[in-house]
Amino acid sequence: MAMSSRAISRRGFLAGGLAAAAVPLLAGCSSVVSAGLVGSRLSSQTLVYWNLFGGGDGSRMQSMEAGYRKAHGPDSLQATTFAWGNPYYTKVTLATVGNKPPDVAVAHLTRAKPLWEGGLLDPITDEDLASVGLSAKDFSARPWSAQRTDGHTIAIPLDTHPIVMFFNTDVCRKAGLLTSDGSLTPLDDMDAFESALAAVSKVTGGAALTIPNVSETATPWRVFWTFYHQHSGASPFLSDNGAKLTVDEDIFGDVLDRIQSWVKKGWVNKGLDYATAQSYMFTGKAGLYMEGEWELTTAQSVKGLKFGMVPIPKLYDEAASQADSHTFVLPRKDRTPEERKQAMGFIKSMLEQSMTWAQGGHVPAYLPIATSSAYAKLEPQADYSGAATTAVYDDPAWYGGSGSTFENIVGAQLGLAQQLAISPQGALQAIKDQLRVYLDTPSPL
């Protein structure tokens, strides 16, 4: 049955709230002051838009909104920014159920799927795309394919934001890891990568690579999911919308054994929180750092720091990078053809300003920008943009996605394994035990 004919039942309403409540704050996306719930119009020509962007992303989004207002008039847009996480997705859910949703909203791609399953999104048709001169061929293959659900386009991707590897130029030069033009020597091989870790460790006298893992669950998950999917034929961690645990236990153990071996050799930190893991690379106490590309602006703000960014090296069978995407969605509501075209026109305007968005580190999903000569000259963004082509999204699950209950449970055990507080087998058993209630609970969506 087409989404447009699906009713939102009381069960769907409760499910939407439950799914939203399972989204805690995620490192890498900033919080901002939330605003009112009801997306009421200022006038019949005013488009109501909700997003969750704070910090540098928020400033860039405001610049893009200003571009839309300049073209369409000062009263053409009512934009509201809510706090990231629970407040945002709960407000979108409640407003949609209450028939007062915004015209356009932002959603992480991994969060758009539960919203769709809950009957909270309208599909975006080929006619909608064509009405503003868009089509599937205008978007990067990975995010476009990932958002397609039940044969429908449920979201328009703005970007891909993968985990990448930062490197301290001065430290890596001393370790003999830079080419003549200052680029990092390719490390796409386990032997080459471990040799590099050993060389950097000699320079720093301590850790070569930092991965935050204290009071931080997202990064351990991102690093694990990256290396897990670098193994050819890796099975999904979850299947059937989170009803089955199908993780390949051998690959799980192999990845954690390898990370623990790096910790035992002193190449990777045993325990550092998010800010301290960053500061080690920024100050030369480490030469390498794995985190989301959004920390580009943080690194750029450090006076005197010389750094670069590259995709995480391919250490196993194939390249892979854990990622998510910010997308635009159409919360479910009755729309006239004119209102649909207006919403699509706003989305098109945001896509056309993707170069502004790319300044913050995110890889544009809109190909006219992503493949432009201007973006190719953007450094260091162009150096790691290839990570978007190997993006691996989290498995669909009603309790999964960015900042989800799943990520918190699994990431916490992966962090303990990095701290050498638990064995790989112990981590997997704890994950099984803690996920059991969710695996055994039928999806409420």
pLDDT in tens, 204-243: 999 999 999 999 999 999 999 999 999 999 999 999 989 9
pLDDT score of 386 more than 70 = yes
Picking from 2-16, 31-45, 77-91, 151-165, which range would have the lowest pLDDT averaged per residue? 2-16
For β-strands 152-153 and 148-149, DSSP reports them as antiparallel
The yes-or-no verdict on residue 270 having pLDDT over 50 is yes
∠ CA 361-364-370, rounded to 5°? 115
1 pLDDT more than 70: no
Cα angle, residue 386 at apex, residues 382 and 388 outer, rounded to 5°:
110
CA distance 210 to 276: 9
pTM of the model: 0.88
Residue 292 CB partners (closer than 8 Å, separation 6+):
28, 161, 162, 163, 164, 222, 361
According to CATH, the superfamily of the domain at 3-158+325-379 is Periplasmic binding protein-like II (3.40.190.10)
Long-range contacts: 353-357, Cβ < 8 Å, 24+? 353/63, 353/64, 353/67, 354/158, 354/159, 356/60, 356/63, 356/64, 356/67, 357/60, 357/61, 357/64, 357/158, 357/159
Residue 303 burial (10 A CB sphere; 0-12, 13-18, 19+): exposed
Grade residue 55 by pLDDT with cuts at 50, 70 and 90: confident
pLDDT at 38 over 70: no
281-300 pLDDT, tens digit per residue, is 999 999 999 999 999 999 99
Identity of residue 239: S
CA-CA distance, 253 to 39, in Å (whole number)? 48
Tokens of 240: 């059937």
Question: 288-292 and 148-149 as β-strands: parallel, antiparallel, unpaired?
Answer: unpaired
Give residue-wise pLDDT tens across range 70-103.
Answer: 999 999 999 999 987 767 888 998 999 999 999 9
Model pLDDT, residue 7: 42
CATH of 162-323+404-439, one of 3.60.20.10, 3.40.190.10, 3.30.413.10, 3.40.50.1260: 3.40.190.10
Residue 40: is its pLDDT beyond 50? Answer: no
In the chain, residues under CATH classification 3.40.190.10 are: 3-158+325-379, 162-323+404-439
Report residue 35's pLDDT band, with 50, 70 and 90 as the boundaries.
Answer: very low
| Amino acid symbol at 293 | E
With a cut of 70, say whether residue 60 has pLDDT above it.
Answer: yes
| Number of C-beta neighbours around residue 437 at 10 A | 10
CA dihedral of 250, 253, 258, 261, whole degrees rounded to 10: -140
Q: What pLDDT is stored for residue 86 in this prediction?
A: 62
How confident is the model at residue 220, as a pLDDT? Answer: 98
